Amino acid sequence: MQTTDTFAALGLSERTLKALEAKGFVTPTAVQAVCIPLLLQEKCDVVGRSQTGTGKTAAFSLPILETIDESKHVVQAIVLCPTRELAMQVSSEIESMKGSKHLQILPVYGGASMDLQIRRLRKGVHIVVGTPGRVMDHMKRGTLSLENISFAVLDEADEMLNMGFIEDIEMILASTPEEKRMLLFSATMPPAILSLAKRFMRRYELVEIERETKTLSATSQYYYVVRPSDKKELLTRIIDISPDFYGLVFCRTKMESDELSKELIAGGYNAEAIHGDLAQRQRELILHKLRERRITILVATDVAARGIDVQDLTHVINYSIPQNPETYIHRIGRTGRAGKKGSAITFVTPSESRRFTYLKRNIGADIEQVRIPDADKIIAMKKQRIVDTIVEGLKATHDLPFQEMALELLELDAPHKVVTTLLSLNYIGDLNVHSYQPIHDPQAPRREEYQRSDRKPGRTQQDEVRLFVARGYAHGMTRKLLVEFLKEHAHVRDHEINDVSVMEDFSFVNAKEGAAHAILNAFKKISKGEKPVVTRARTDSPNGKHLARHQKYDRFSRNKPPKKEKRRYR
């Protein structure tokens, strides 16, 4: 089996190598080292038995990106996935590896807007990543043609067969050219998989790769179900109950990592953020401070964290849920090393429960749900740690100046009053239970965000307009960042915006009438014909009740509520 230490040795172009370097990919995994040369140089088909977490997405994506003709605006590669979640993840991963190439990658799956997908396909798409059912729908409508396909990929083929997609897959493959290249990846190799390979592949190589799991054995894995708005409070409680906390906190976006690190620093924690916007010298300085433990909390994005090698980390916190199982394994592999124990903790919002279930199943690890730490119990633990520290300190030999000062103080008042005063002066800030904010039940309805019964539909307070923003927690937004976002693009002022409600996939704000017009005009200009990011809230549902009933809408990746058919009267 061929192995190599560099991507350059695999025959990839300079443009692709630059894209991989920007992502922080340095050394190819085993499946990448074997499959990429087979597809690029020997030009044979591949059947791969490969678990999630081995790097197979890049193994099939990189040869596709190398081979596709970006000047031809037709579908040249089709990737079939068993679930919409995987289709979205694979599409996002391919997008991140295309670098400077002008390629259009489109995920298609059931439940998303068919009209939006049709518009994208008509404009020209190079790679389609989709579920078999939705791909078949497009083929039947005539909106997706596979006659120019040069690559066909079946990702997690055994899952697709288990879900009953075999007939759809056969019909899809039968519509592709015989001279195409075909890749089939599966965790297991049942007879039906091999039969599929023999029927639709010509000469193929069987590649078998086992996932490395050694990094997982010493790592205890937990998850909390928590509202997006309570994540920061939960993080501080976890840090506070772990006296030797020394870890990485992973966020989805640069904005989110910056915002979180600033909030932690303001709360007195030794934290820094690292992301792709930092210069190399800044990055090196932060990592040096982390290794010396001058900072004990590093907030990072996945891209910025690649290549970070710090020993003895006690925790990895998935503040934002990983995009795929591979990312999860890469993240938590940074703790529990060299025989030492580590903890990997994932924050899961209610809307992410389905995606997290998929993640757990594909990782094959035992991830235990735990209860959110109670503020009173945290204070009790802190008190006990103070007592333990003092008791341990009593065993040491004390300097004469302190003995003299102690005797002077004991002469002034009763010993217990002296000790009480010293404890109060040093620890009163740490032992205030009111410093912890309440954490809400994640399953309870958020009445304050979904209904405002004291307001008229479509209007807010006098001379204010309710606005809908197609950005939410999933895009890295917080209340503060959303206000800054609007100020930056529309040049409005703080006092002109209020009543900001940030939800998972969208947000609402009130703006004074003049500011509202400025915001709407600004985002209309930069929308370039697409639906603007900011629009007026619906007058019949100014707080998003219609979005709560249906799939939440985002013009980039979410669903539009189904349209009602109009009756024609003669």
User: What are the structural domain ranges in the chain?
Assistant: 8-209, 219-372, 376-432, 447-549
Q: Rounded distance, CA 75 to CA 183, Å?
A: 17
Kind and range of the H or E run holding 132: helix 132-141
* Residues 285-312: tens digit of each pLDDT: 898 899 899 999 999 987 667 657 677 8
* Crossing angle of helices 325-332 and 353-363, rounded to 10°: 70
Spatial CA neighbour of 151 closest among 66, 249, 241: 66
Place of tokens 């924690």: 269
pLDDT greater at residue 365 or residue 295: 295
Q: Of how many residues is the chain composed?
A: 570
Asked if 65 contacts 57 with a C-beta cutoff of 8 angstroms, the reply is no
pLDDT at 273 over 90: yes
Query: Which letter does DSSP use for residue 42 in this model?
Result: I
Spatial CA neighbour of 349 closest among 552, 538, 537, 541: 552
Side-chain-facing half-sphere of 456: CA atoms under 13 Å: 7
What percent of the chain is predicted at pLDDT more than 70?
85
Instruction: Sort residue 385 into left (φ over 0), alpha (ψ -120 to 50) or beta.
Output: alpha
What CATH topology corresponds to 8-209?
A: Rossmann fold (3.40.50)
Query: Which letter does DSSP use for residue 61 in this model?
Result: H
Query: Which letter does DSSP use for residue 91 in this model?
Result: H
Q: Rounded distance, CA 75 to CA 151, Å?
A: 10
**133 burial level (CB within 10 Å; 0-12, 13-18, 19+):** middle
Q: What pLDDT is recorded for position 539?
A: 62
- Whole-angstrom CA distances from 458 to 109, 466, 507, 542 are 33, 6, 15, 5
Q: Tell me, what amino acid is at 438?
A: P
Residues forming beta bridges with residue 48, ordered by sequence position: 185, 207
pLDDT at 552 over 70: no
Q: What pLDDT is recorded for position 538?
A: 77
* Residues 94-136: tens digit of each pLDDT: 988 888 888 999 999 887 889 999 999 999 999 999 999 999 9
Indicate the CATH number for domain 219-372. Answer: 3.40.50.300
Chain-centroid distance of CA 451 in Å reads: 29
Handedness of CA 357, 360, 366, 370 (dihedral sign): negative
Q: Which two tokens stand for residue 204?
A: 């193929």
Asked if 346 contacts 223 with a C-beta cutoff of 8 angstroms, the reply is yes
**332 burial level (CB within 10 Å; 0-12, 13-18, 19+):** buried
> CA geometry: angle at 250 spanning 533 and 107, to 5°?
45
Asked if 244 contacts 303 with a C-beta cutoff of 8 angstroms, the reply is no
**147 burial level (CB within 10 Å; 0-12, 13-18, 19+):** exposed
- Whole-angstrom CA distances from 228 to 322, 333, 350, 505 are 15, 25, 9, 11
Q: Please compute Rg for the chain using Cα positions.
A: 28
Phi, psi (degrees; rounded to nearest 5) at 51: -75, 160
* Residues 30-67: tens digit of each pLDDT: 888 888 888 887 778 888 887 655 778 888 999 999 99
Place of tokens 């004990």: 296
Spatial CA neighbour of 465 closest among 517, 502, 527: 517
Spatial CA neighbour of 112 closest among 532, 550, 528: 550
Sequence-ordered strand ranges (E) for 349-433 = 368-369
Q: Integer distance in angstroms from the first to the last C-alpha of the chain?
A: 73
What's the mean pLDDT in 158-174? 86
What percent of the chain is predicted at pLDDT more than 90?
25
Instruction: Sort residue 55 into left (φ over 0), alpha (ψ -120 to 50) or beta.
Output: left
Chain-centroid distance of CA 216 in Å reads: 20
pLDDT greater at residue 376 or residue 553: 376
* Residues 209-253: tens digit of each pLDDT: 765 544 466 789 999 999 988 999 999 999 999 888 999 999 988
Asked if 335 contacts 56 with a C-beta cutoff of 8 angstroms, the reply is no
Q: What is the mean pLDDT of the chain?
A: 81
Three-state DSSP at 364 gives coil
pLDDT greater at residue 170 or residue 484: 170
Class of domain 447-549: alpha beta
What's the mean pLDDT in 74-83? 92
Kind and range of the H or E run holding 508: strand 507-512
> CA geometry: angle at 564 spanning 561 and 570, to 5°?
160
Query: Which letter does DSSP use for residue 281 in this model?
Result: H
3-state helix, strand and coil shares in percent for the chain, rounded to the nearest 5: 45, 15, 40
Kind and range of the H or E run holding 231: helix 231-240
Q: What is the pTM of this model?
A: 0.49
- Whole-angstrom CA distances from 311 to 308, 334, 346 are 10, 8, 21
pLDDT at 555 over 80: no
Q: Tell me, what amino acid is at 492?
A: V
Q: What pLDDT is recorded for position 311?
A: 78
Q: Do domains 8-209 and 219-372 have the same CATH topology?
A: yes
What's the mean pLDDT in 356-371? 85
Kind and range of the H or E run holding 51: none
Three-state DSSP at 219 gives strand
Q: Rounded distance, CA 505 to CA 481, Å?
A: 15
Query: Which letter does DSSP use for residue 392 in this model?
Result: H
